[in-house]
Chain A
Amino acid sequence: MANVPEDLHYSKDHEWVRVDGDQAIIGITDYAQNSLGDVVYVELPKAGEEFAANEPFGSVESVKAVSEVFTPIAGGVVAINESLADEPESVNSDPYGAGWMIRLKMSNPGEVDSLLTAAEYEDFTKAESE
């Protein structure tokens, strides 16, 4: 079964959000990396770019597919995971750690409350795979 850490927030597009003060770290879930297969390329925005909630911020490519990645919350990019340029496979091996994608300064920290909890996300993925 896919790993769904308790302390994160989740979107129905299979992104996770880790809150760190007024900033948020975003990546894709274990379920998402597993359904994607071997990740070979990750395209990320530049620091300073602003995104509205549910806007695509980049893309992730496996051997066979390309998927857009969305930010579930609004904010400005304060950092991106530069190491994914050379080690995109981190998204597969450590999706909640070394595979993180962007760090945002949240425009509206309250948005996090509208995201799924770990238990809700787990139910959501079970329903989706049935």
Chain B
Amino acid sequence: MQALHNTGAWVTKLTATAPQLKQTPLNAIHRQMGGRMVDFGGWDMPVQYPAGTIEEHLRTRTHAGLFDVSHMGEIEVKGPDAIKFVNRLTSNDVTKLVDGQAQYSALTTPQGTVIDDLLVYRLSPVHLLLVVNASTTEKDWDWILSHRSSELIDLNNVSADYCQIALQGPNAQSILQKLTDLPLADIKYYHFTHGSVDGVRGIVSRTGYTGEDGFEVYAPADRAEQLWNKILDAGQADTPTGVLPCGLAARNTLRLEAGMALYGNDIDDTTTLLEANLGWICKLDKGDFTGRDALASQKAEGVKRKLVGFEVTERGIARDHQEVVIDGNRVGHVTSGSPAPFLKKNIGLAYVPVEYASVGQAIQIDVRGRLVGAQITKTPFYKRNK
């Protein structure tokens, strides 16, 4: 048996130790709990736990899943010009945020392509926190430093100070509520509050990357183990309906079902926000920002290709990088392809020329030399009942 393909940046090998990789504060716990550790963009992370990816995925949809996302980067922007500065570097409108609100946005190039996608948290009018992808944290930090101008700001890469733990799923609120006096029901989607969880001061944010309701808790890195263990206890992790620790493979299938883009796969510095269907985070009328002119002219001319969702209609599983074939022509490629454990279908995202981007369009995927039928479908593939 030899690996032909591995989804994403991980390398599958049952490696006992990998000293050159970066570790989150929960590394020892992942190993204790039987997590299969892989190299994920330079981080030693669990791709799955003994329950397996499918069970982890399903449990998150039906009950709750717990994810270590401490590898994500955090960059602090403080000072009177914090909002002005971040608004100039990102595509969404930071001036629309109120204290305690978070926003999905992107760091853009002058061409309107993507340095990274990120969350912008407004802690106060003079204090923003940027939460960026793990493997791009250093690149983002360099980009941000090199693009500062005369604005009055302090910049700090505080990634190592924080742990970030995501509790996702329909039971997330009731589980987390056992550990905090914060009125969690009052925190709206994409809002956050400061407070204590099990006595640990941090930020509790109603955000996530699974398509479920849920929270992300930012806390001091040295309290990560305490929070992780207490949440597992509160969520009765040892029962069939309890919270289940989840690895990166489930995180990936959950976000894909929810139609969310993955940086490095679906978006990168060769794809514009408009091509990626992220026009909703391009506030072209907010004033100037990096890439605004390029995006405005692309919007006026219309995009030539588009990121679409598809469902495989024949036997076979589409995978990242495989080619899309329409009428015998190779017209695009798959950026994310995987089985969807909850939907029990094989789905994916792909770039195709805009003339073929309509829902219902029949396409084929070149699965290692075999053409497999698929159909463009609307995204998200999965939407939770609210």
Contacts and interface: CB of A to CB of B under 8 A. Distances in A.
B265 to A, nearest CB: 13
Contact of A66 (B3, B13, B249): B3
Interface stretch (A33-41, A74-82, A106-114, A115-123): A33-41
Interface in A86-100: 92
A129 B14 CA distance: 5
Tier of interface size on chain A? 20 to 34
A18 interface: no
B312 to A, nearest CB: 11
A65 B5 contact: yes
B317 interface: yes
Contacts of B54: 38, 40, 63
Interface in B1-59: 1-8, 10, 12-16, 36, 47-48, 52-54, 57
Interface string A7-40: 0000001110000000000001000100111101
Given A66-B319, A67-B1, A35 B14 contact: yes
29 contacts: A13-B1, A13-B2, A14-B1, A15-B1, A28-B1, A35-B12, A35-B14, A37-B47, A37-B249, A40-B54, A41-B315, A63-B53, A63-B54, A63-B249, A63-B253, A63-B341, A64-B6, A64-B338, A65-B3, A66-B319, A66-B368, A67-B3, A67-B4, A68-B2, A69-B1, A128-B14, A129-B14, A129-B16, A130-B16
Please give me the 4 A-B residue pairs with the lowest Cβ-Cβ distance, nearest first. Answer: A66-B5, A129-B14, A63-B53, A66-B4
Interface of A: 13-15, 28, 32, 35-38, 40-41, 59-70, 92, 128-130
Interface of B: 1-8, 10, 12-16, 36, 47-48, 52-54, 57, 249, 252-253, 315-317, 319, 338-339, 341, 368
